Structure 1
Amino acid sequence: MKTTAHQPSDAQSYFSAGLAARTQAAEIELNGSSVAYWTYEPVQATADTRTILVIHGFRGDHHGLLRVADQLPEMRIIMPDLPGFGSSAAFAEGKHSVEQYGAFISAFMAALGLGPDTVLLGHSFGSIIAAHFVAAHPGTVTPLILINPIATPALEGPKGIMTKLAVLYYRLAARLPRMLGLALLRSSLIVRVMSEAMAKTADKDLRRFIHGQHNSYFSAFANRDSLLESFTASVSGHVAEVAGKLTLPVLLVAGEKDEIATLPDQRHLATLLPDGVLKVIPGVGHLIHYETPGPAAGFIRSFLKDHPA
């Protein structure tokens, strides 16, 4: 295992001066593939310090959850780039499915010696991966935190048409000649349209920061095939289908204006959980991790105090 220093990619005031001092980057080989991950050590460990394993969303990497990690200086936070994204290689064998990503979590936790007191946190597509992993491996982690969780089938309901168009986009990009397909997937115009649609803040500087983050990291994927497989997984599963098996305490953090994981769907999901609680952040959509990391961290901190190791 190789460990190196790591600095946040963006030096603006959206990160604290102390974040870099907490940060270490490392690589590990798992089943023939290189996995990059970042550990954010607590400034000062206390009785309330927990280890939180973070699973990021589709086409993101560890950078997306940095502002949340920054707001939890008393916690030890571990954030891998999922296989096929960021600085991690694609899976050497098998499809990039929800089940395969669950197997990755098992292998990753075993390699790092993470026990059942580990907190598992998933954002967006990461919420699907995390929920299905917990349903299949009860007792492996506790508790579970889902930010902007995908609560219903993406191919159904009012957003189904847009999802089907996205399916065509990824399939087309996978079938075009390589350079043309990559150009389509990494189109700065398409990334910007997506970023503009999801950002809800009226703060121009924050919007500029969000667009810069998406421009820098949204196109960091291993190859077109792994991206298509991951996208297919992201629209084929959801949290509600395993909600009844999530018998551990679960925190849902939802955005009032989320158009991908809508608030009515989050409220329904909360009713399906045996031991769940829903917290709603007003004025934000699917980018809680960028726009309102402070309130999200506050909910996480309170939830973990209510559910100590």
Structure 2
Amino acid sequence: MDISAVANGIDLEAQGITPDRQIPPLARREQVTIDSYDLATIRIDAIGPARGTALLVPGYTSSADTFNCILEPLARRGYNVVSFSQRGQQLSQGPSDVSEYSLERLGADIHELITTMNLGPRVHLLGHSFGGVVSIEAVLQKPEAFASLTMWNSGPECMGGDIESQRHALLEYGPRAFYLSTRIAAGLDPDADIKGELNLVEQYYYDRLMGTNPAQLEAGITILANQVNKTAQLKATGVPVLVSHGANDDAWPIPMQREMAEELEADYWVIAHAGHSAHADRSHTSAELLATFWDEH
């Protein structure tokens, strides 16, 4: 198979193929029990000799399925790859107590997952968006567990923008209010769900949000709103870091991500013609970039 022919996740969505249906045939869905909660995982083994193992951490309101579009090309580059839904995210169980979603607890979940799934001794960790915030915490807790860290469209401190208004809407009125705020910001009909007018892909993302534990949503957005810059501590660990984002990333300000890379003396790669979910926008390019960085470490 020529992996350069791999379709972009976003192009598959344009055909009505939702991220959950983009899972490659060689991948398998599993569950792992962490802190008494069953977390959903997706695992694919390296095709040919294994060069290493990567663990992919999804962002806010996301799930393990977000990375399906890059699993097979990464496996063909020789990597065992695992993605998972964090506690409380769609497909995974989670507590209803907001306090049980502390950043420290989310970071500890990563280490317990690595141990339970026997992924070690040294894992390439990737955190997308909010997953990057959690991944920094995991690295600071036990840096020797990781061969590298990739901050994938993720930044070092509060992203600003609409996050406070979105947090207010969520806390005051619940998950649908958060959904409405994002629909309105995108210039889309906020009542399309009530009217039954969501297309297949829109319905998938709506169901993913509504399938997330409200306590996880509240805790996650609070962590994002109060994110503290730990770049200096991260640099002190000595773990190799890649900072990468789409050229059109509209989450963390791009200068903020670039400055983080400079302070870390990290590799810094910008993916042209891609937005906040660069792996979906340019799947083959993203997989090649990641595998190249992992090969070097």
Tell me which of 24, 34, 37 is aligned to 2:38. 34
Tell me which of 173, 179, 184 is aligned to 2:177. 184
- Number of aligned positions between the proteins: 271
The offset of 1:245, in angstroms, is 3.0
Tell me which of 247, 269, 285 is aligned to 1:256. 247
CA 1:14–1:87 in 2, change beyond 3 Å: closer, same or farther? Answer: closer
Amino acid at match of 1:144: L
Q: Is 2:48 the partner of 1:45? A: yes
The offset of 1:36, in angstroms, is 1.5
Separation in 2, partners of 1:261, 1:100: 24
1:120 corresponds in structure 2 to 125
CA 1:13–1:95 in 2, change beyond 3 Å: closer, same or farther? Answer: closer
The offset of 1:190, in angstroms, is 4.4
1:214 corresponds in structure 2 to 205
1:154 corresponds in structure 2 to 159
Q: Is 2:70 the partner of 1:68? A: yes
Q: Is the 8 A contact 1:131 1:246 kept in 2?
A: no
Trace 1:165-180 onto structure 2 (pairs within 5 A). 165-173=165-173
Segments of structure 2 that go 5 or more residues without pairing to the other structure are: 1-8, 189-198
Q: Is the 8 A contact 1:68 1:293 kept in 2?
A: yes
Q: Is 2:291 the partner of 1:288? A: no
The offset of 1:166, in angstroms, is 1.3
Separation in 2, partners of 1:305, 1:109: 20
Amino acid at match of 2:264: L
Tell me which of 207, 217, 237 is aligned to 1:227. 217
CA 1:258–1:63 in 2, change beyond 3 Å: closer, same or farther? Answer: same
The offset of 1:235, in angstroms, is 2.5
Residue identity over aligned pairs, in percent, reads 18
Amino acid at match of 2:234: A
Q: Is 2:92 the partner of 1:101? A: no
Q: TM-score, normalising length from structure 2?
A: 0.80
Q: Report the RMSD for the aligned CA atoms in angstroms.
A: 2.9
1:203 corresponds in structure 2 to none
Q: Is 2:13 the partner of 1:23? A: no
Q: Is the 8 A contact 2:149 2:241 kept in 1?
A: yes
Q: TM-score, normalising length from structure 1?
A: 0.77
1:245 corresponds in structure 2 to 236
Amino acid at match of 1:73: A
Trace 1:122-141 onto structure 2 (pairs within 5 A). 122-141=127-146
2:6 corresponds in structure 1 to none
The offset of 1:63, in angstroms, is 1.4
Structure 2 SS opposite 1:301: helix
Separation in 2, partners of 1:196, 1:213: 19
Amino acid at match of 1:84: G
CA 1:14–1:92 in 2, change beyond 3 Å: closer, same or farther? Answer: closer
Amino acid at match of 2:74: L
Q: Is the 8 A contact 1:128 1:239 kept in 2?
A: no
Q: Is the 8 A contact 1:135 1:245 kept in 2?
A: no
Structure 1 SS opposite 2:113: helix
The offset of 1:134, in angstroms, is 0.5
1:267 corresponds in structure 2 to 258
The offset of 1:262, in angstroms, is 2.2
Structure 1 SS opposite 2:163: helix
The offset of 1:124, in angstroms, is 0.3
Amino acid at match of 1:45: G
Separation in 2, partners of 1:12, 1:246: 43
Separation in 2, partners of 1:209, 1:287: 19
Q: Is the 8 A contact 1:240 1:272 kept in 2?
A: no
Separation in 1, partners of 2:215, 2:50: 45
Segments of structure 1 that go 5 or more residues without pairing to the other structure are: 1-7, 174-180, 198-207
Q: Is the 8 A contact 2:55 2:126 kept in 1?
A: yes
Which structure exhibits the higher relative contact order, with contacts defined as CA atoms closer than 8 Å and separated by 6 or more residues?
Answer: 2
CA 1:245–1:116 in 2, change beyond 3 Å: closer, same or farther? Answer: farther
Amino acid at match of 2:43: T
Separation in 2, partners of 1:167, 1:112: 34
CA 1:212–1:40 in 2, change beyond 3 Å: closer, same or farther? Answer: farther
